[in-house]
Each structure stands twice: as structure tokens, then as C-alpha cells.
Amino acid sequence: MIEHQVPLGTPFTAASTPSDVLAGVDLTGTNVIVTGGHSRLGSEVTRALAGAGASVAVAARDPERVAAAVADIDGVVVEQLDLTDPRSVDALVGRWLGTGRPLHVLVNNAAVLFGPERRLDSRGHELAFSTAHLGHFRLTRGLLPALRGAHGARVVNVTSGAARFGEIRWDDLDFAAGYDPAAAYGQSKRANVLFTVELDRRYADQRVRAFAAHPGVIIGPGPHSPAEVAAYRAQGLVDEHGNTVIDPEGGKKTVEQGAANLVFGAASPLLDGIGGVYLKDNDVAELDDTDHPLTADSIPSMASSAMLDPDDARRLWDVSERLTA
């Protein structure tokens, strides 16, 4: 909620890691689901939460491959989930609710990398929006009985600084009239934040709180293709030798530093009693409606009123209900 979009002044910085954020936090008895919790950011989140004592279910499309990737992490199981397939989403919901276990934390992390060509799911929805928003919307709503049963649960929607300039194309959500990969990505990330706002508004009184978490810009150590190096160089993400630039205060982070903000949203006691906010650098992000220029090497990632607009949040919820009916 906009009135709560005020930094708390946490002791953490943009360079903090999950171990910093979880220092002194015991998650024994905490049940967690992390979508895409087997690679990059998701893997670091899974490892950190499990290391603090949580029981973590990693939800992914290929359970056999993913099981091998998380085999060295104690307290982790793998669940099959294809966010673009309603039957797969409903099957996971059914399996979880069938156990009768509460769900204390749901980290909606999975997404798809956008490419130059428009891609659709089996229902004709643009793939980034389908995966990052519609699939997680269906999953979260299905798991609400388990989230309410935790008597204190959190939903973390992994977003991006792109949410600031992303817009919801209400009349053309699937980009049928013309595809722009950056606009499609921005729409999916704006949807993550708006979903957070309305989810928290609807269920805060039932002790289900929601957070949108921006990890920063993370490209990993490489190796990168020549085309990637050229693009990253133009954005200031690699140096003249092709080495990844790490500048946490400038939003360019390691995978571990990026994961810290997701872990902060999932488990930090500093967030008790609030929700519906956008997190950045292990704190509630500053609300700044200044018209900052968008350049190749500078994507403003502060919160804006448009990202958190309650009317847009309600409208997106209604549209999403229809699309997932």
C-alpha cells in the first residue's frame, strides 16, 4: 500500500547476502514453496531458507532434473509445476492441500527470459505474462487455504525495476497488435507488483501478507556470447574485457546479493505487520514519482505510485480471474 511504501531503515545494504538477512532467524517448522527454486536466484533462496531450518518444496517443470540440482540441500523436496498449464497448477495445489499442511511462505520466483519473437502458451496468452503472472495468480489463489492455515503467511512475488516503466496493455495483454519484448517483460513485472497490492488488501486481515521483491540486475559471471557481451556492454553490465560489473549500490548484483532481497521478504521479522509493498536492497523501497530518464545503463528502480495504484491492482485482479477461470 502506498502509505506503507516508506523505508524502514534496516541494518542491511544493497550488498547484503541471505546469511546477513537471516542472521538469528530460525525457520524450523516453516513450510515453503519456491517456484523455479533450483537455479540462479531461486537456488540461492532455496538454499538460504532451508539452511535456516525451513522445509522447502521446489516447484519446477522437470522434477527429475531439478532433484539432481538440489540433491545437496537438506530439507528440500521437488514438485512438478508448469505455470502455463492450469492442470499442472491445480494438480500441485491439490497435492499440497491434500496433506493438510499449512504453507507459511510462497515465493513466486519462476519466469521466462524474453526473446525477440512473440511466444504464446497453449491458451494463446503471451508467455512472460502467462508464466510470471497468470500462473502464479492461479497457484496463489489455489493455495490460499494453506496460506490462511499458517496463521501468519507471506507471499513474495519476484519482480524487477522494469515494473516502474512497465504498463498493463489492458486492451492487448497478449501483444497481438505488435510485439515488443521489453514492453512484454515490463508488463509482466508491473503485474507482479499490482498483484501484490491487491492480494495484501484482500487477505491481510487473514494474516496473509504479500511483498513484491526486486533483486537487482543480475547477469551472472558468464561466459557470454559475443552478442550478449555487446548488449551488456551498452548497458554497463560488463567491462571492456567482458567481465561482469558488480556494483550493488548501482543495482548490479551477484546472484547471492540479489537473492537476499527475496529472502528478506520471505522471512525477515522486520517486515512483520506490513505488506503490499515493493522491496529493494533489503528494505521497503523509497517512493519516488520523479520522472527519471530511462537510459541504456540506468533503469530507475525506486517505487512509484503507478506501480502501486490500487485501482489498477483491483482491475488486474478482476481480469486475471476471468483469464484463469
- Catalytically active residues are 185
Residue 11: cis peptide before it, omega within 30 degrees of 0: no
Residue 72 DSSP symbol: T
List beta partners, residue 298. 295
Residue 258 DSSP symbol: H
User: Phi and psi at residue 120, in whole multiples of 5°?
Assistant: -120, 155
Residues 45/317, Cβ–Cβ less than 8 Å = no
Contacts 24+ apart (CB under 8 A), 303-306: 303/5, 303/164, 303/277, 303/278, 304/164, 305/2, 306/164
List beta partners, residue 295. 298
CA atoms of 32 and 109, how far apart (whole Å): 12
Closest CA to 58 of 41, 43, 40: 43
- Ordered DSSP codes for 183-234: HHHHHHHHHHHHHHHHHHHHHGGGTEEEEEEE--B---S----HHHHHHHHH
CA atoms of 120 and 125, how far apart (whole Å): 5
Sign of CA dihedral 53, 59, 64, 66: negative
